Amino acid sequence: MQTFIETQFPIARLSAESYKERKAGASQTLTGLGKWWGRKPLVLVRASIIGMLMPASSDAKRDREIFLKILTMDDEGTWLRCKPAIQRKTSRAAFNALPYADRITNCERPENVEGPSKEAWADINEHLGTTANNISELVEQLGQRTFGHTPRVGDSFCGGGSIPFEAARIGCDAFGSDLNPVAGLLTWASLNLLGGGKEVQDEVRQVQEKVFAQTDKQITDWGIEHNDRGERAEAYLYCVEVKPEGCEFYIPLAPSWVISEKYRIVCTWKRVEGSEQLQPEVLTVSDDELKLYKNKKGATAINSRAVDPFDANRSWSIESLRGPNGLRRWAKNDVVPRPGDVFQERLYCIRWIDAKGNRRYAAPDEHDIEREKKVLGLLKDRFSNWQNEGFIPSAVIPEGGDETARLYRERGWTHWHHLFTPRQLLTIGSLAARLPSNHKYSLPRLGNLADFNSRLTRYPSTRETINNTFSNQALNTMFNFPCRGLLLCKNVFVLQSSVDEFPRLESTTVMLMDARDLSETCDIWITDPPYADAVNYHELGDFFLAWFDKQLVKAFPEWTPDARAELAVRGDGEDFRRSMVDIYQNLAHHMPENGLQMVMFTHQDPAVWADLGMILWAAGLKATAAWTISTETEAAGIKQGNYVQGTVCLVLRKRIGLEPGYLDEVYPLVEDEVKRQIASMQALDEGDEPNFNDADYQLAAYAAALKVLTQYGNLDGRDVEDEVFAVRAKNEKSDFQAVIERALGIACDTLIPNGLDNSWRDLSLVERYYLRGLDIESRGERRQGMYEELARGFGVANIRPLLKSDKANGARMHTPSGLAASGLAQLGSNDSGEALPSKRGRASADTTHPFASTPLRHLLFAIRETTVADNSPEPGRQYLRDTFGQGYWTKRDGFVRLLEWLSALGNTAEMAEWRADSEAARILAGRLRNDHA
């Protein structure tokens, strides 16, 4: 029996919902618990589970309607989710007429509403033969039907816990495990704290409020945050300073000295007679002056150089300042730089707030400096005791990791507590020390405090909020950074989220396990492995673990508080493949014969997943469907250009039996399957709300190939596992890969750009590639990987000369004018490839590229001649006649059709670059149409 997800999936709507959920930022249900990287959208998890439980009927359209109803993603459901204020303003018809993504901007997320209406349940029950009144009853009944019990859903790489959390919320028995103790704790908390219901949440909040109030009193008594103007410090801004050789003073470092754009606050520096330290002044400036500061006036850290604030021409490379032997390594008891260290640190601004809520920025005065000293003294008094108790970190930072190496190199930091100022350690430590011992519900709060209050955070002058350490996936050191006063720690410490109780909380389990060693059985495994992943979970996780390692052992005696980095799955080489095959073999053993798996993974380059397909095949699984959902990303910013855009959801079942396959028989089967798959997707596409884009079709082609291939236990007598691990030369392909690529070729050729149906047959592969490239470009596709993927499909080896830009997220094809400028279309050559006499300074160009001698390239050149001649078509026409001689007349109709297609390109904003060329194409088409021999 096929399940819904094995036949279809509402990709467009789910992408819109997933995107909305990700955009909710801090108000996503699980983010409030603590940072983890790559959390999967809950709505996607919910849809996946329902999609794997719901049987497919012979009526695909009705199945889809019912599925959307269950998720409240049908028209009625979205209307009911629409916020009342909007409902009052809009008519239902007008609301329904909006594109889905626009509709849901004013809706609650599906997870935050009660569920389908009574009427909807009647329809759902009628179609599915169930008697459910809510989603957990539906899950129970569908599970009973397929597996004979409540379905058990597991995730062996559970990370932040999205998968077990959502599974439990909709009524499944949920199992989650991860290698990393921080992930284990977050998952445990998602299930037991959020899933534990209001009572537990209220109790935990009360404990945290109380601890906060006690700490507040203590800090007030110490007098370390209050001044004698009746103000309290909300935030402190620090910077690193350095005294280069030959410089008479310490240079405070910051890439910009703007503190608040809204209030036009900046920091400036003054020399002081007889002192090597500059003195900060915090000023309110005019709008014009602010602009100068935004343009780096006085900036002292530019392009990895320390710049003299008074003479921008004087600068020193930061790397050279660190010296040939690198920085002094901080000792365990260091909390601030020692005198003589290359990098010193100082406070340069305090943000105060008074009883009325007025904000004031000021440079520190001598009392503030005294208070800083007091903080250091208070910390020193408690330091070793707190480290022993585990209220502040004491662990060593593992040396030489991808992320951690830079902490040693750039700051000399060797222990996790070095990433926090004395004030940060004192504040978080005071809270930690007051928590009741064994209060496991609050351990994630300590990690959260660390995330939002470390030397690695930022204070964006546009927002005046304090970012978290992991606003991306790296441990980046900062030249200037904020520190929170206690008041700004409140929301980071006291639990904010609340969620209803889970129906079957007693049937949830969380373990800390290497996925190879699991022995739990689940009906459905949904996993999101660290596939060719940019995130070093084990290294980054240690940042948090350092804050509760000692408490964790007390709270979870069976857990080892160690990331066990050596067991972490990572990379994409042979070791990675070996561990993945082992893990998925293990999971396949631990599911019933009719069980299902979904492997999710997010990667920019769709090609890499063919490799994953092989791994899963070797693990004894067969693919039954694959869908891509756009889930958007968390890490634009620093690692720009590399962000991922789609999550591939691959559905798998156990392969039973060892049926042999033969390559020559497989090809036609793949061809049929690819065509069938594409046709069924095209049939589901809904006109103005297309479900699928190019990437989806390409993915579907791969999936179709995998579907055919993975049914077989071996291919031409060769074992799949041997093939996965066979040693190959760099560009050598396995037969398996060849089949998969062939599928892509079939898909590419099945998808003809609208309006080119009659010309397609006459075009060569490279010409088709160019036109399809334009086609995807015109639909907004900019991912370079997609242009490469297309090229694979058409067998075009070198696409560089055809692309105007091959930036990771800014790829586009050349226009005719662009091609001319790049040289490829510049060289006139006749059909035999011979160069035409040089005309208008045509330079020599790449005649070896297969595109250079194609009729399409000549046609593009004729367009270019038309634009150059101020839209007179004569030179272009003449060029074509000279180039093709008598052949011109047979080619003419085809040319006209292509020109017409090209003339429509420039109509959209996406293709504004084409405007002039499209106009020329239109004029040239007219001229050719009226040409007479």
Ligand X SMILES: C[S@@+](CC[C@H](N)C(=O)[O-])C[C@H]1O[C@@H](n2cnc3c(N)ncnc32)[C@H](O)[C@@H]1O
Smallest separation, CB 40 to ligand X (Å): 4
When the beta carbons of 80 and 515 are compared against ligand X, the nearer one is 515
Burial zone of 210 (CB within 10 Å; 0-12 exposed, 13-18 middle, 19+ buried): middle
Smallest separation, CB 544 to ligand X (Å): 12
Stretch that binds ligand X, among 153-161, 371-379, 498-506, 882-890 (CB under 6 A): 153-161
Smallest separation, CB 36 to ligand X (Å): 5
When the beta carbons of 561 and 818 are compared against ligand X, the nearer one is 561
Binding to ligand X (CB under 6 A): which residues in 455-514?
A: 514
> Which residues are within 8 A (CB) of 492 and not within 5 positions of it... i.e. 6 or more apart?
445, 448, 449, 451, 452, 453, 484
Q: Is residue 584 near ligand X by the rule CB under 6 A?
A: no
Rounded-to-integer distance, Cα 675 and Cα 630, Å? 24
Of 4, 19, 36, 697, the one binding ligand X (CB under 6 A) is 36
CB 862 within 8 Å of CB 879: yes
Rounded-to-integer distance, Cα 382 and Cα 346, Å? 22
Of 8, 141, 180, 817, the one binding ligand X (CB under 6 A) is 180
When the beta carbons of 21 and 123 are compared against ligand X, the nearer one is 21
When the beta carbons of 531 and 884 are compared against ligand X, the nearer one is 531
Q: Is residue 169 near ligand X by the rule CB under 6 A?
A: no
When the beta carbons of 427 and 527 are compared against ligand X, the nearer one is 527
Q: What is the per-residue DSSP string for 61-88?
A: HHHHHHHHHHTT-SHHHHHHHB-HHHHH
Of 153, 163, 342, 651, the one binding ligand X (CB under 6 A) is 163
Q: Is residue 646 near ligand X by the rule CB under 6 A?
A: no
Q: Is residue 643 near ligand X by the rule CB under 6 A?
A: no
CB 252 within 8 Å of CB 343: no
Q: Is residue 178 near ligand X by the rule CB under 6 A?
A: yes
Site residue total, ligand X (CB under 6 A): 24
Of 11, 183, 306, 678, the one binding ligand X (CB under 6 A) is 183
Q: Residue 322: what are its φ and ψ, rounded to 5°? A: -70, -15
CB 921 within 8 Å of CB 862: no
When the beta carbons of 515 and 681 are compared against ligand X, the nearer one is 515
Residues 514-533, one symbol each (x = binds ligand X by CB under 6 A, - = not), give xx------------x-x---
Question: Quick one: tokens of 461?
Answer: 């002058």
Smallest separation, CB 564 to ligand X (Å): 8
Residue at shortest CB range from ligand X = 159
Q: Is residue 179 near ligand X by the rule CB under 6 A?
A: yes
CB 648 within 8 Å of CB 600: yes
Return the CA Rg of the chain: 32
When the beta carbons of 189 and 923 are compared against ligand X, the nearer one is 189
Smallest separation, CB 92 to ligand X (Å): 35
Q: Is residue 38 near ligand X by the rule CB under 6 A?
A: yes
Smallest separation, CB 887 to ligand X (Å): 57
User: Is the backbone of residue 412 left (phi > 0), alpha (psi -120 to 50) or beta?
Assistant: left
Of 13, 20, 35, 40, the one binding ligand X (CB under 6 A) is 40
| Partners of 700 in beta bridges | none
Stretch that binds ligand X, among 178-186, 339-347, 694-702, 706-714 (CB under 6 A): 178-186
Of 67, 121, 361, 537, the one binding ligand X (CB under 6 A) is 537
Rounded-to-integer distance, Cα 653 and Cα 879, Å? 59
Q: Is residue 157 near ligand X by the rule CB under 6 A?
A: yes
Letter string b/e over residues 184-208, b meaning 16 or more CB atoms within 10 A of that residue's CB: bbbbbbbbbbbbbbeebbeebeebb
Binding to ligand X (CB under 6 A): which residues in 540-579?
A: 567-569
Q: Is the dihedral of CA 427, 430, 431, 437 positive or negative?
A: positive
Q: Is residue 166 near ligand X by the rule CB under 6 A?
A: no
> Which residues are within 8 A (CB) of 710 and not within 5 positions of it... i.e. 6 or more apart?
613, 616, 617, 621, 622, 623, 655
> Which residues are within 8 A (CB) of 2 and not within 5 positions of it... i.e. 6 or more apart?
55, 56, 624
Stretch that binds ligand X, among 33-41, 74-82, 877-885, 892-900 (CB under 6 A): 33-41
Which is it for strands 596-602 and 524-527: parallel, antiparallel or unpaired?
Answer: parallel
- Which residues make up the interface to ligand X (CB under 6 A)? 36, 38-40, 156-163, 178-180, 183, 514-515, 528, 530, 537, 567-569
